[in-house]
Structure 1
């Protein structure tokens, strides 16, 4: 538990980004089986968590791409963001497992 709080600035953003990334993947998979305007509470939860990220990625991607492709790109961007955040903290010696002498 002490390890978690020692590196809270790494673990909390990483957890949030991972949760949104995996929710995007869940939305992608579930989207193959249900319509986009389905009124189920689980589907609404997926959309509530991921719509902001999807909107941002949709703004950056060409309009000709279908929604499932945008969801894949959004998950990949979040994965890259998580990796970049870890590398930045590791190079600064602030990540878990990084030595302060580097």
Structure 2
């Protein structure tokens, strides 16, 4: 499935992420639905046991959203990424763009 960032962002209006998305992107999709009170939990469940740097990067972002900086730093190290410090929305865009570029 080929999708760009604008299409991915537009898909947030759908009821669920595309089943063709890999777990890290599906988690980011749930995290991007700020109005969905269960979005964070669904996103976290998708990457909690998922191996790989991409899942760890999304996991780190989720813990930043949660406000757990220490846990986020752990997951950034697992992702081999520097800890993000900017706006959460900008980080979401950066992660989504990078992961979509690999899909």
Does TM, scored on the shorter chain, surpass 0.5? no
Compare relative contact order (CA 8 Å, sep 6+) and give the higher one, 1 or 2: 1
TM-score of the two chains, using structure 1 as the length reference: 0.39
**Structure with greater Cα Rg:** 1
TM-score of the two chains, using structure 2 as the length reference: 0.39
